[in-house]
Amino acid sequence: MSLKFAILGYLSTGPGTGWDISRQFDTGLGWFWTARHSQIYPELKRMTQDGLVERDSETVGEALERFSYSITDRGRALLAEFTASAPVYPPNRDAERLQFIFADDTPEALRAHLEAHRERHTRRRTQLLEILDALRANTHERINLRVANRRAEGKSLTLGLRELAYQGELQRADLEIEWADGALDWLSDNTSY
């Protein structure tokens, strides 16, 4: 998977500026793929050179130029090829669990570690519920744009896929909270820390 497909997916809904795309990685897309802002603009340049996106400009104010990107037919074809292919799973890299399994040399830090883990996933759960509420109330601007661009028979699929994706992330958050609670109980029962 590459950043290119996340950007193509975003632009398949409608045009956007580099800033719009960066902001999306901080919010909606960030649940499924992350990118630093410094990665997005060079990728947009490569994608423009490869004919996957088109760049339009407009003058803002006296001399400031703002660029907007839209997906090309070639970009749509590549995105369709990507979404139709079998998923590729990256190798596991879980620094948090790696820290945890070797924490037997620093057992006094275990409780704080587990509480931080639970708190992080509790915050994620709250954020996911907010997104799901917006999706269900038809108040999520980008999702509404995507739905508006679909034929009537495709609208329920568009909404359903997003519901399933965010529900999956919600279930992961719930599972992580449950794991942290169980680990904290185990820690209380088996150590004096």
pLDDT tens digits, 9-59: 989 989 998 888 888 877 777 778 888 888 999 999 999 999 999 999 887
pLDDT tens digits, 130-160: 999 999 999 988 888 888 888 887 888 989 9
How far is residue 118's CA from residue 179's CA, in Å, rounded to a whole number?
Answer: 8
Selected from 3.40.190.10, 3.40.50.2300, 1.10.10.10, 3.90.1330.10, the CATH number assigned to the domain covering 3-84 reads 1.10.10.10
Q: How confident is the model at residue 193 (pLDDT cuts 50, 70, 90)?
A: low
For the chain, give every domain's residue range: 3-84, 95-190
Would the CA dihedral through 21, 23, 28, 32 be positive or negative? positive
pLDDT tens digits, 92-130: 888 888 888 888 888 888 999 999 999 999 999 999 999
- Locus of tokens 């088109």: 54
- Single pTM value for the model: 0.77
pLDDT tens digits, 51-88: 999 999 887 777 777 889 999 999 999 999 999 999 98
| CB of 78 closer than 8 Å to CB of 52 | yes
